[in-house]
Amino acid sequence: MDLQVTPISGINSPMPIVVSGLAPGANLELKVKTVDAANRLFSSTTVFKANSDGVVDTSKHLPQDAGWVTPSSLGVLWKMMAQDGKDATFAVDGLNPMRVEVQARVEGEKGKGTHVTRTISRRAREITPLPVSCKGRAFCPDEPGPFPLVVLFGGAGGGVDSASAAVLAHHGVAVFSYDYFPRKKGGVVDVDAVRRMLRGIRLLPEIDSSLPVALCGTGRGAELALLIASLEPNLVGAVVAHSPTDVLSAWPDKDSQPDVFVGSGLPKVTIKAPGKQDVAADWHAFIQPKLKGQPWRLRAYYDSAREHTKDIEAAAIEVEKMSGPLLLTAGSEDAVWDSASMSLTLQLRASDVEVFRYVAKGAGHNVGYPFYFPGLPAQKTMNAYGYRIALGGHSVTNGQASVDSRVQVISFLRSAFGLED
């Protein structure tokens, strides 16, 4: 048996595994495992059947239990799950690489193993120090600047997406991941403070302040990006909004509905919980999952909240005021809110700017690069609002959506900034 894998590759590049010297038709068991930045073990086991030449090539052959329709060398990574039994999010940190162990064996024969290093970026460096108001981490290409600036707003899970910033900086831009979302229930995001932060970080010598800032957000971060773009058309240019909402929405809770975003110039109405108008929505979103030990499924709750809002137009994010361009992505099986329909509303409303919209069939809430990597385990849930939240979709459809999103986001941002390929 001969096992071949490229020993060093980018974390989002293909990772073909080729095993030769097998008996034709032999069942080959491929196991991949790795430890994430939070020291959790992830692994997957996949069985392939050798072809008539006694070869298995994960980039060309489907496994016997294929959950994906066309061959993909990343499929064995999408399938990885935390071995502590918890539906954990795979943690990555800054420029620290991912180290993968690959094992190949056929029953009754001696197996083979090797290790692969998956790098975040070999062409990026961290920017330090940052202004005090800029809570987060920033990266830029490891070459003379200045560079266009992209600011990342993650979802309701909060924290700093440092690896996301580092991997995007590989493509010729400076990237700042801003830690903005409140950790405790009832906490708010001061949009005016975020606007001041954007003006402050542009003063860094690594940033080309002559160019508009690009914003990239997912979920709540997409909501924030669209709000700021509508309020600051002279400061913000290109916007990437993954799994967006088209309206201002409150903190999800069956008992109270504090605002998430506060500040000047925001929509006059915030979508609130339906409450007594629709007790079934509360039951399905919060109570039943808690009784069954399952994650919240928020989509019906947000659908009902929207339906019971009398003046929905007063809650609309005024994307018609942004200077654009705009890239919208959504999953058709988003379990958080109906981002596919709301992205269409945003597209129609932003009629004066160039809009690109992509809906990933069968994918959930977690479709957007660089927040979700094509070369990592596909996330099914996330910690947000103090609970575990279902994201929807399937590991395979979510993984493929991340592959597509990576190509779209890189092309969109490079085009928006006029960067050469």
Please tell me the predicted confidence (pLDDT) of residue 211.
Answer: 96
**Virtual torsion, Cα 346, 380, 284, 359, nearest 10 deg:** 30
Sign of the Cα pseudo-torsion (51, 55, 59, 64, in order): positive
User: What are the pLDDT digits (tens) for 144-186?
Assistant: 989 999 999 999 988 899 999 999 999 999 999 999 998 777 7
Which structure tokens are listed for 85? 């039994």
Note the Cα 26 to chain centre separation in Å: 38
Say which residues have a Cβ less than 8 Å from residue 234's Cβ, sequence separation at least 6.
212, 323
d(CA 188, CA 167): 29
> How would you classify the pairing of strands 17-20 and 2-5?
antiparallel
Residue 355 in contact with residue 379, Cβ under 8 Å? no
The mean pLDDT of 77-81, rounded to a whole number, is 90
Cα–Cα–Cα angle for 261, 265, 270, rounded to 5 degrees: 45
* CATH 2.60.40.2240, the chain: domain bounds: 2-119
User: H-helix or E-strand containing 395?
Assistant: helix 395-417
Name the least confident of 13-17, 46-50, 250-254, 341-345: 250-254
Please tell me the predicted confidence (pLDDT) of residue 266.
Answer: 94
* CATH 3.40.50.1820, the chain: domain bounds: 124-417
Please tell me the predicted confidence (pLDDT) of residue 275.
Answer: 63
Residue 352 CB coordination number (10 Å): 12
Cα–Cα–Cα angle for 119, 125, 128, rounded to 5 degrees: 140
Cα–Cα–Cα angle for 101, 103, 104, rounded to 5 degrees: 155
Say whether pLDDT at 286 is over 70. yes
Residue 333 in contact with residue 297, Cβ under 8 Å? no
Banded model confidence at residue 276, pLDDT cuts 50, 70, 90: low
Residue 24 CB coordination number (10 Å): 11
The mean pLDDT of 345-361, rounded to a whole number, is 95
Say whether pLDDT at 244 is over 90. yes
What percentage of the chain has pLDDT greater than the value 70?
97
The mean pLDDT of 244-255, rounded to a whole number, is 84
Say whether pLDDT at 350 is over 70. yes
As beta bridge partners, residue 197 has none
DSSP state string for 257-278: ---SEE-TT--S--B---GGGG
Please tell me the predicted confidence (pLDDT) of residue 277.
Answer: 65
Residue 137 in contact with residue 165, Cβ under 8 Å? yes
User: What are the pLDDT digits (tens) for 186-203?
Assistant: 788 999 999 999 999 999
Residue 341 in contact with residue 380, Cβ under 8 Å? no
Name the least confident of 107-121, 139-153, 158-172, 269-283: 269-283
What percentage of the chain has pLDDT greater than the value 90?
69
d(CA 204, CA 181): 23
What count of Cα atoms within 13 Å lies in the side-chain half-sphere of residue 405?
A: 34
Banded model confidence at residue 118, pLDDT cuts 50, 70, 90: very high
Banded model confidence at residue 372, pLDDT cuts 50, 70, 90: very high
User: What are the pLDDT digits (tens) for 289-332?
Assistant: 888 888 988 998 888 888 888 889 999 999 999 998 999 999 99
The mean pLDDT of 116-140, rounded to a whole number, is 93
CATH homologous superfamily for the domain 2-119: Acyl-CoA thioester hydrolase/BAAT N-terminal domain (2.60.40.2240)
Please tell me the predicted confidence (pLDDT) of residue 70.
Answer: 83
The mean pLDDT of 59-69, rounded to a whole number, is 83
Please tell me the predicted confidence (pLDDT) of residue 256.
Answer: 60
Residue 25 region, left (φ>0) first, then alpha (ψ -120 to 50), else beta? left
Give the full edge-to-edge strand order of the sheet including 2-5: 2-5, 17-20, 56-57
Please tell me the predicted confidence (pLDDT) of residue 257.
Answer: 66
Which pTM does this prediction carry?
0.92
Residue 77 in contact with residue 15, Cβ under 8 Å? yes
Please tell me the predicted confidence (pLDDT) of residue 66.
Answer: 65
Fold classified for 124-417:
Rossmann fold (3.40.50)
E strands, 167-229, are: 174-178, 189-190, 213-218
Average pLDDT of the chain? 91
The mean pLDDT of 197-219, rounded to a whole number, is 96
Which structure tokens are listed for 399? 């993984």
d(CA 382, CA 289): 15
DSSP label at residue 404: H
The Cα-based distances of 106 to 19, 71, 109, 116, 365 in angstroms read 11, 21, 6, 21, 38
Say whether pLDDT at 16 is over 80. yes
Which structure tokens are listed for 254? 């069956």
